[in-house]
Amino acid sequence: LGSGTSFLNLALSPSSLSEGSTYAFTLLVSMASGNETGQASVTVQTNSPPLPGVLAVSPSSGEELTTDFVLSASLWIDDDIPLTYAIYYNDPRSEDPQTVQTRSETAYGESQLPAGMDYDNYAITCGVFVYDSLDAYGSGTSLVTVRESTMTLAQKQEIVKAKVASGDMSIDETKQAVSIGTSVINEVDCSSAPDCTARKRKSCLMVENTCGECESDDLVSDDMGDSNSYCFNATEVALY
């Protein structure tokens, strides 16, 4: 009767096992001669991300550069603790995520926010990634209304410059100041832009006092990019 240890590798493709599921792996062994067989099994429980909780933003509305918003995650559940939280908001122009709090065990962060776009009712998307100790993660988002300040563009830029230059900030606070500053610095003067809605165009955003592109793909214009010309329904234009 032979005995010893043999090693077999079982390679699985990524994501081939469902999260939060139980699997039994069984090894069947038979003698090279004769009918003797044996088997052994092992049960494996796959990890799953934290069960969804909520991301609350308080207050629910405010003004750019002046209102301090608190973003707090709660009711997220997982057995593999500690949970860690990475909190962010999406830049209203680029839609890129901007850091409010880098990943840590603290479930809340505080930040001022840039103004949302008027065609989005000044909504800013805030979000959180919640990780367990094995790096599985879930996510949640919440909308907050941030209206434009009555300050001039130059005044807003001076406020941002002063914050960045103060030096009395944490790493997260510095990231917040830089990201908000980038949004403000890229802001253009739209005070003399025409009625973009009447022209079926998006609001002034990238070019000074100029409406954005046509509101949808079924609209056409001689100037398809940012312009103050009117957009028309493509079907209607084809009839003439």
Phi, psi torsion values for 160, nearest 5 degrees: -65, -45
Q: Which residues of the chain have a pLDDT value below 50?
A: 1
The pLDDT value recorded for residue 120 is 86
Q: What are phi and psi of 164, to 5 degrees?
A: -65, -35
**pLDDT score at 175:** 83
Question: For residue 52, is the peptide bond before it cis, meaning its omega torsion is within 30 degrees of 0?
Answer: no
Q: What is the pLDDT of residue 239?
A: 53
Question: CA 192 to CA 183: how far, in whole Å?
Answer: 20
Global pTM value: 0.73
Residue 10 has a pLDDT of 86
pLDDT, residue 55, reads 98
Q: Which tokens belong to 221?
A: 């214009």
Report the 10 Å Cβ neighbour count for 111. Answer: 24
Q: Provide the 10 A C-beta neighbour count for residue 209.
A: 13
pLDDT of amino acid 106: 96
